[in-house]
């Protein structure tokens, strides 16, 4: 491992919570695509499959920030374990109803309940932020590592989920995803030494973290970005089925994630200067442009190459996004702020997968590829129009006062310990 990455793991406990975070995040790439594959295998209805995936994403978008807000107030262990139990119950109900051919409405009820899945990535990033507070170089590397972990999940998650659901039994992918969630969350929350200290309710005056103008821009752009991801998943699976190799879709999506993983690994080694908001706008623009070759895909190998190139813009943009969230959101609301970006992605995935599913049903996979292209245009427009908001002075006065109180409290603790 290159030295900057080795250096961040010198802090005690970092290896443990990172490993737990990897397992806990596998459902991020497995659950949605697993539900879509399961339903399409059982019913042959891509419209229903895409809408269920959209329901899961929208539910996570509504519930995720609320769970993270509770985490900021009460701590990760007290909140994540009950939320995970609810999510596991929901997944169990969904699989039973799908297997038994229950009415469609039952699938939607349990899928909506599944939105209680915690944003494990936000939890691990909050731990890094607490460990390396005030050390931007180390945080840049840590956030880059987290993006690599995300992409590792997206490399192997779809392969495992689609492969199991198509070659073993339809419910196998979501079932294994639920197992990863249970093990990852329980392991992560058992590690108390690196858990960020919760903030009392009195520190949360001023309402939601989403009141930050800069965060609003990031979330809005991520809605369009998520639509790219959701549409690409559906179109890839549909295209692979059209050419008679549905299971190959998992490998094509893995190549997409591999491009992002490699870019994130290199990005973490760089010592960047200059305005991060400008880098972010350029990254979003690159993601939009990278959707153009998808319209020309005439074979699975061509589609894989196009997605690999498209993936190169993802991780650097995500890393820069986390740095901007930390700059625009008070520390007492950091987990919530990071979850809002995941919420934006979730809403976008819901819209993109649903829209692509209906287009594929009506006109085929080739027509569906227009959905990620249009989504990329919207993402670029939001980034350009919101650029000025991202350059405004941050954090808020309230957030700065909260950080000052935290620092004073830590100094007092150290003084009492010495005495």
Query: What DSSP designation does 196 have?
Result: P
Query: pLDDT category, 186, cuts 50, 70, 90?
Result: very high
Interval 310-331: pLDDT, tens: 989 988 888 888 888 877 877 7
Interval 189-206: pLDDT, tens: 999 888 888 776 544 455
Of the candidate ranges 238-242, 295-299, 370-374, 385-389, the one whose mean pLDDT is the lowest: 295-299
Name residues whose C-beta falls within 8 Å of residue 301's C-beta, 6 or more positions apart in sequence: none
Structure tokens that stand for 371 in this block: 């959905």
Interval 325-365: pLDDT, tens: 877 877 777 777 777 887 787 778 778 877 888 888 888 88
Average pLDDT value for residue range 368-397? 81
Of the candidate ranges 21-35, 91-105, 393-407, the one whose mean pLDDT is the lowest: 393-407
Give the Cα separation of 400 and 413 in Å (integer).
20
Global pTM value: 0.72
Give the Cα separation of 266 and 167 in Å (integer).
35
Per DSSP, the three-state class of 192 is coil
Query: What DSSP designation does 292 have?
Result: G
Q: Percent of the chain having pLDDT more than 90? A: 17
Per DSSP, the three-state class of 393 is coil
Write down the domain spans for the chain. Answer: 3-191+212-404
CA distances from 179 to 26, 41, 184, 346, 411 (A): 10, 21, 9, 21, 42
Interval 249-290: pLDDT, tens: 878 888 888 888 888 888 878 777 777 888 889 999 999 999
In the prediction, which pLDDT does 2 show? 56
Asked if pLDDT for residue 417 goes beyond 70, the answer is no
DSSP letters of 336-385?
HHHHHHHHHHHHHHHHHHHHHHHHHHHH-HHHHTHHHHHHHHHHHHHHHH
Query: pLDDT category, 405, cuts 50, 70, 90?
Result: very low
Asked if pLDDT for residue 5 goes beyond 60, the answer is yes
In the prediction, which pLDDT does 19 show? 92
Interval 83-106: pLDDT, tens: 999 999 999 999 999 888 888 889
Interval 70-84: pLDDT, tens: 888 888 888 999 999
The 10 Å CB-count burial string (b at 16+, else e) for 242-268 is eeeebbbbbbbbbbbbbbbbbbbbebb
Of the candidate ranges 119-123, 164-168, 188-192, 347-351, the one whose mean pLDDT is the lowest: 347-351
Average pLDDT value for residue range 212-224? 87
Q: How high does pLDDT run on average in the chain?
A: 81
φ/ψ bin of 297: left (φ > 0), alpha (ψ from -120 to 50), beta (otherwise): beta
Closest alpha carbon to 369 in 284, 254, 252: 252
Give the Cα separation of 36 and 53 in Å (integer).
6
Structure tokens that stand for 134 in this block: 């005030």
What superfamily does domain 3-191+212-404 belong to in CATH? MFS general substrate transporter like domains (1.20.1250.20)
In the prediction, which pLDDT does 62 show? 81
The 10 Å CB-count burial string (b at 16+, else e) for 96-112 is ebbeeeeeeeebbbbbb
In the prediction, which pLDDT does 198 show? 79
């Amino acid at each position: 491992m290159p030295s900057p990455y080795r250096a961040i793991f010198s802090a005690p406990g970092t290896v443990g919570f990172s490993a737990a975070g990897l397992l806990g995040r596998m459902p991020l790439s497995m659950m949605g695509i697993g539900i879509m594959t399961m339903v399409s295998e059982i019913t042959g209805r891509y419209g229903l499959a895409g809408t269920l995936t959209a329901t899961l994403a929208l539910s996570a978008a509504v519930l995720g920030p609320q769970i993270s807000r509770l985490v900021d107030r009460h701590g990760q262990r007290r909140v994540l374990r009950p939320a995970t139990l609810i999510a596991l119950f929901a997944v169990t109900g969904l699989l039973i109803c799908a297997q038994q051919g229950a009415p469609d409405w039952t699938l939607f009820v349990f899928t909506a309940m599944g939105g209680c899945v915690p944003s494990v990535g936000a939890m691990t990033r909050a731990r890094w932020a607490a460990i390396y507070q005030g050390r931007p170089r180390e945080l840049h590397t840590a956030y880059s590592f987290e993006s690599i972990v995300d992409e590792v999940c997206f490399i192997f998650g779809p392969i495992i989920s689609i492969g199991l659901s198509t070659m073993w039994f339809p419910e196998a992918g979501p079932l294994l995803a639920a197992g990863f969630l249970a093990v990852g969350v329980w392991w992560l929350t058992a590690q108390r030494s690196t858990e960020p200290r919760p903030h009392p309710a009195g520190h949360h005056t001023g309402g939601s973290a989403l009141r930050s103008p800069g965060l609003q821009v990031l979330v809005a752009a991520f809605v369009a970005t998520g639509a790219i991801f959701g549409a690409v998943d559906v179109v890839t699976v549909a295209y692979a089925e059209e050419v008679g190799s549905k299971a190959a879709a998992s490998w094509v999506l893995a190549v997409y994630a591999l491009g992002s993983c490699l870019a994130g690994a290199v990005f973490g080694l760089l010592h960047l200067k200059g305005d991060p908001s400008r880098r972010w706008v350029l990254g979003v623009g690159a993601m939009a442009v990278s959707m153009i070759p998808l319209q020309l895909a005439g074979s699975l190998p061509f589609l894989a190459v196009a997605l690999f190139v498209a993936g190169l813009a993802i991780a650097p943009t995500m890393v820069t996004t986390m740095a901007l969230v930390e700059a625009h959101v008070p520390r007492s609301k950091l987990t919530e702020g990071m979850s809002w970006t995941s919420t934006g992605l979730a809403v976008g995935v819901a819209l993109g997968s649903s829209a692509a599913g209906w287009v594929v049903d009506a006109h085929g996979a080739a027509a569906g590829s227009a959905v990620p292209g249009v989504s990329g245009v919207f993402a670029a427009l939001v980034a350009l129009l919101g650029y000025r908001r991202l350059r405004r002075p941050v954090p808020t006065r309230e957030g700065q006062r909260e950080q000052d109180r935290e620092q004073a409290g830590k100094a007092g603790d150290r003084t009492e310990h010495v005495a």
